[in-house]
Structure formats: structure tokens, C-alpha cells
Amino acid sequence: MEICLDPFNARLRIDDYRGNVQTMHKRVLELAMENGFTKVFIKSRPEDWQALLSLGYMLEGVFKRYFNGGDAYSMALYFTDERRTSDYWMQEDNILRQVLTLPTKPSDELLAQGYSIRLATTEDAEQLARLYDAVFQTYPTPMNDAAYIKKVMLEGTIFYAVESNRQIVSAASAEVNTLYNNAEMTDCATYPEHRKHGLMRHLIVALERELQSRNIYCAYSLARSLSFGMNAVFHQLGYEYTGRMTKNCNIFDKFEDMSLWVKDLSR
């Protein structure tokens, strides 16, 4: 198993595995109990999700085309009622219904006057860390640490940034999985005073073009289900909603439900 022990989010995440599902499940239970985790999150192969269902896991979403074109099934196992129970599900349903009524928008709109967009480098790590520290009270990864940002950049994560007056005011990244040729659109942040200009749409489009140039065609994102704006961005750029993960990560000031959006960049 390729696992992530994730104490900040009180969860065990399995990104890849080989072998017997029953054996994997026994080890998953051991690790979850040893670490006091309240959630297990597995990206299951198509042939295994029903076996996991029979072991008590729940299907929460589908990462379409994740495994070099084959779907991955997001399977979850919970250990407490508190972690299993969403506090905002009906509110999120209402947000989703509103988002899905929005028309799609062309991706070739002009960037607002006074702004520029570019690929970020390790030299931008300090500015990026300040942006993430200002925007998020808490975040699933230490994005307020410039050393961590440099580390993930050197490991292959692509960052794009929007500048105003030579200062980074908005950024987003694509975390690339070169083994399975997919990428997660993540780390989306904009200073509040710059949010009315649709900067995030431009960042996502720039990242998509960068991914296409690298022959990465499966793009997906986990957006806070309570965020009308971020879910609207992905819907309007042609992403498909394929599920919602209950209390998936510790973001802002609490465990939040995350909506899964996927897009085939080869189309």
C-alpha cells in the first residue's frame, strides 16, 4: 500500500495498493486504531470497490480516468458518528443545485487590467506562504511554510500565480501524479480584496494548459462544499461533479465536506 498517515486530518489515506483487499483491510484497521484516526479514505480500483463495500466502506465519489484512463472509486470507512455525520449537508445540496444551474463560461476571457499571470518558482515560496497563511485559518497541508512549498515544487507540483503591483495576490497549484498521469487542482487562494476579478478561473485555465503540454489529461479537484465560488469556478470551466466526501479534511476552522470535480483535458 502507498499510504499517508495524516494526523492533522485524523485520517488514513490509501492512494495506491496491490494484492488482496481483505488483507489490506485488516492492515488498514490496525493502522487506524494505532493512530486514533476517525476516517479511512481509499482510492479503489474499479474491480475492488464492491468488495470494499461489502467490508463496510461507503462510496463517496468517482475520480474518473484517474488510473491512466481507468476510474478510481473513493471509498470511506468511519469510526465515529461525529466524523460520519455532516453538519451542513442540506446547505451544501442547496449550493450545489445553484451552482449546477450556472452556464459554462469560455476559458479565453481577458485578465482584468492591472493583473498578470505566470508560472511560479521556488523564489516565490515566501510570498505564496504569506498568501496561504492570510487566507486559511487552518489547511490540510502546511502551505504557510515556505520550505514546504519549495519542497513540493521540487517534487513536481506546478504553481501559477497572479500578480498586482509585482505582488502575488492569487495562486493555485496542480499536484501531478506522473505514474497514473493525473493531477489534482488545489491550493486555490486569493486575497479578499482581489476576489471580484475572477482570477481563479484564469489560474485553473493556465494550469490546465500546462498539464496538457505535459500530456496529463485527468484533472480533478476537491472543493469545499460550502464554497459557492470555488464550486462555481469548476462547474463553469467544464468540470463534472462526481461526489462529496464527508468531513474529509481540516480546513478553515473545522472538518469540512469536500466536493469532487473531474475533467478530461483531452477533449
Per-residue pLDDT tens digits of the chain, which is 267 residues long: 999 999 999 999 999 999 999 999 999 999 999 999 999 999 999 999 999 999 999 999 999 999 999 999 999 999 999 999 999 999 999 999 999 999 998 777 899 999 999 999 999 999 999 999 999 888 888 999 999 999 999 999 999 999 999 999 999 999 999 999 999 999 999 999 999 999 999 999 999 999 999 999 999 999 999 999 999 999 999 999 999 999 999 987 899 999 999 999 998
- The pLDDT value given to residue 211: 98
C-alpha cell at 183: 493531477
Distance between CA atoms of residues 39 and 262, nearest Å:
23
Pick from 126, 128, 122, 148: nearest CA to 203? 128
Distance between CA atoms of residues 28 and 38, nearest Å:
12
Distance between CA atoms of residues 218 and 182, nearest Å:
5
- The pLDDT value given to residue 140: 85
Q: How far is CA 194 from CA 118, 173, 198, in A?
A: 17, 18, 9
- The pLDDT value given to residue 141: 86
Tell me which residue has cell 492512494: 15
Is this structure's pTM higher than 0.85? yes
Residue 216: what residue type?
A: I
What value does the CA radius of gyration of the chain take, rounded to a whole number of Å?
18
Cα pseudo-dihedral 150, 154, 160, 165, rounded to 10 = 40
- The pLDDT value given to residue 99: 98
- The pLDDT value given to residue 197: 94
C-alpha cell at 48: 475492488
**Neighbour order of strands in the sheet with 70-78:** 2-6, 11-16, 39-44, 70-78, 58-67, 240-251, 254-264, 218-224, 182-190, 167-177, 158-164, 115-119
- CB burial of 231-246 (b: ≥16 within 10 Å; e: otherwise) equals bbbbbbbebebbbbbb
Q: Which domains does the chain have, with CATH numbers?
A: 2-84 (3.40.630.30), 89-264 (3.40.630.30)
